[in-house]
Amino acid sequence: MELAAFIHEPKGAFSYAVNQETLHIRIKTKRDDIQAVKLLPIDPYNWKPVSKGSHVWEFAVKTIQPVEMKKEYVTRLHDCWFAEVPGFKWSRIRYGFILDDGQELCFAGSHSFIPLQEDSAPPADHTNYFNYPYILEDDLYRAPAWVRDTVWYQIFPDRFNRGAAGEQDKLLAWGSDELDGPEKKFGGDLQGVTEKLDYIRGLGCDGIYFTPIFESPSSHKYDTKDYFRIDPQFGDNESFGRLVEEAHKRGIKVMLDAVFNHCGQEHPFWQDVLKNGQDSPYFDYFYIMDPGKPVVSNSMAATADDDDLGAHLNYRTFGFAENMPKWNTENAKAREYLLSVAVYWTERYNIDGWRLDVANEVPHDFWREFRKKIKGINKEIYILGENWFYSNPWLQGDQFDSVMNYEFTAAVTRFFGVHLQNQERFTAADFVYAINGLLVSYPKPVMQNMFNLLDSHDTARVLHICGDNAELVKLAYVFQLTYGGSPSIYYGGEVGLGGDEHHNRQCMPWDTAKQNQDLYQTIRRLIELRKQYNVFKETDISWLSIDDETGSLIYSKESQGSTLYVLIHNSPVAASLNLPVDLKDQVLQDIFAGESVRLSDEISMEPYSFRLLAQ
């Protein structure tokens, strides 16, 4: 029994409250080491007299009612065990685990492991039990119920659509340059988005995530000049208000991008600091490294071969971007100013969500205050952090509702992708291990709301990653849209817009002759099915077949008595797949093709193909 591999942490992704009387508890053990696990829950105040009338009390381990844990998922290194423990009337629990490897029994406690004999009582040392002291209201994660049912459409406004009355001067011809650049402007605007709302709804998307739209000198708008004003290229505040109103008429939610980690060089507060130095009332709104030196020194220039790329900077920035000074959100007045921005747009324009740029570089305390302010205005607003890696500390119910799930992106693109920069491709087994690891990294209620994307303005487009093979792209969307959470389509991805990380913000091709309509119809149909069948949105996956040789996967999902079987054949070669017992000799509905299928022992799969079968 490899006890060094045992992993558990109370009050986190391994032990969390679902409601006032229910806990979910997980552990990890070495893969293929443990055959069975029992959870031993007990109220921490279950003490009884050692004998009738005695004044000596003991921890009443005999009141424990063991719960068999389920082997939920398997990763490359671990077996992951799960138990739901309901009925805690007093909202508190202590617990331990009995590990069984088929030869020995061991009690796994909070401080030590205790060997046990067959049928022996659990240890009476109450200090060696894990403790969930009390299920408090603050412990309960809550996100808007509408999020898990939403399919997002991400828009980079300058490149999406130029409105009929859009300004033509000083703009590049639409689609004339595929290489990205912050100074390149093509004239996409909010009127253009409003004119395409029916297109977005027709695809099946019911949420729009905008990259920044506030006044800024660049095309990407992450270098904000005025947080209270829509960039004039995009329109004005009134045109944004009309867009939100028209979107809501169509059942489309609107989410804005909050850039509160940094501002742009042209922001008036920063300009005042550059002009007046320490005499500026905004000096402490930013992080000045050495107040005794000029904020910006013309004598210090960065060079491409510097070992320390930030050596020339006397102030903190986003990355080493000189034109993006970092806000000091520990400063009370700077904090108040930024929070007033969020309040303004939330109250006045009835938006539905905030995406928080570079969220993991801003203090937790700022986001806690942000949440209280925004949820106080609208408790149904969605708060999404841009965190690229493990993010559970931000998802405790006191900060974000979700994060952009780039961990999901990495797993999917490494299995379906062929153009992978500095990354190895995943086999089918690698992919399953990665997805399983992700599924146990967060509480189940959190996973229902994760923002699952295949690409974005910060990555190569999925078509490029898939070697410009639209059939491979379809498979990636099949997995995304049959996976739990809240999926996102990056504008143009549905019609085959490609590009590496330097060509990922190209203009939307509105000429249907330049669009991949077959890909569009596939994605549209998948979204339609996701809306029709709730089972698509369920979090848990049962892997029925994993075949590295053929690159094939078969998995199932269940919801309220219905079952969905997903077959994915990630190979350029046709194959006959052996069917698992669950599928043999069944008559099922191919819900994508709209036909009945009678199965035998095998099923033929064309290159890069999929089947969606339902009972």
Q: Do residues 395 and 442 make contact, with C-beta atoms less than 8 angstroms apart?
A: yes
The C-alpha angle with vertex 303 and arms to 299 and 307, in degrees rounded to 5, equals 110
CA-CA distance, 318 to 223, in Å (whole number)? 10
Q: Do residues 474 and 608 make contact, with C-beta atoms less than 8 angstroms apart?
A: yes
pLDDT at 307: 63
pLDDT at 166: 54
Q: Which residue in the list 79, 206, 215, 386 is annotated as catalytic? A: 386
E strands along 151-291, which residues?
A: 152-155, 207-210, 214-215, 226-230, 253-258
Higher pLDDT, 303 or 395: 395
Q: For tokens 């959470």, what's the residue?
A: 485
CA-CA distance, 314 to 289, in Å (whole number)? 5
217: left (phi over 0), alpha (psi -120 to 50) or beta: alpha
Residue from 565, 578, 562, 572 nearest 609 by CA: 572
pLDDT confidence tier of residue 301, bands split at 50, 70 and 90: low
Mean pLDDT of the chain: 94
pLDDT at 52: 84
CA-CA distance, 601 to 583, in Å (whole number)? 8
pLDDT at 398: 94
Give the alpha-carbon dihedral of 469, 472, 477, 478, to 10 degrees. 150
Q: Which of 8-22, 303-317, 345-359, 468-482 has the lowest mean pLDDT?
A: 303-317
pLDDT at 558 over 90: yes
168-226 confidence digits (pLDDT tens) = 667 999 999 999 999 999 999 999 999 999 999 999 999 999 999 999 999 999 999 99
The H-assigned helical ranges of 212-363 are 237-249, 268-276, 332-349
pLDDT confidence tier of residue 603, bands split at 50, 70 and 90: very high
Mean pLDDT of the 95-117 span: 95
Q: For tokens 């809501």, what's the residue?
A: 248
Measured CA to CA in angstroms, residue 423 lies from 419, 499, 572 at distances of 9, 18, 21
pLDDT at 304: 47
Mean pLDDT of the 587-606 span: 95
Q: Which residues pair with 7 in a beta bridge?
A: 28
Sign of CA dihedral 351, 356, 362, 363: positive
pLDDT at 305 over 70: no
pLDDT at 584: 93
Mean pLDDT of the 389-418 span: 96
410-433 confidence digits (pLDDT tens) = 999 999 999 888 889 999 999 999
434-465 confidence digits (pLDDT tens) = 999 999 999 999 999 999 999 999 999 999 99
235-275 confidence digits (pLDDT tens) = 999 999 999 999 999 999 999 999 999 999 999 999 999 99
Q: Which residue in the list 158, 357, 401, 407 is annotated as catalytic? A: 357
Q: Which residues pair with 113 in a beta bridge?
A: 108
Q: Do residues 453 and 461 make contact, with C-beta atoms less than 8 angstroms apart?
A: no
pLDDT confidence tier of residue 286, bands split at 50, 70 and 90: very high
CA neighbours closer than 13 Å in the CB half-sphere of residue 179: 2
Work out the angle between the directed axes of helices 237-249 and 332-349 (0-180°, nearest 10): 50
pLDDT confidence tier of residue 506, bands split at 50, 70 and 90: very high
pLDDT at 298: 64
CA-CA distance, 60 to 46, in Å (whole number)? 6
Is 284 labeled as catalytic in the residue annotation? no
pLDDT at 555: 98
pLDDT confidence tier of residue 30, bands split at 50, 70 and 90: very high
Mean pLDDT of the 391-401 span: 95
pLDDT at 593: 94
Is 590 labeled as catalytic in the residue annotation? no
pLDDT at 137: 87
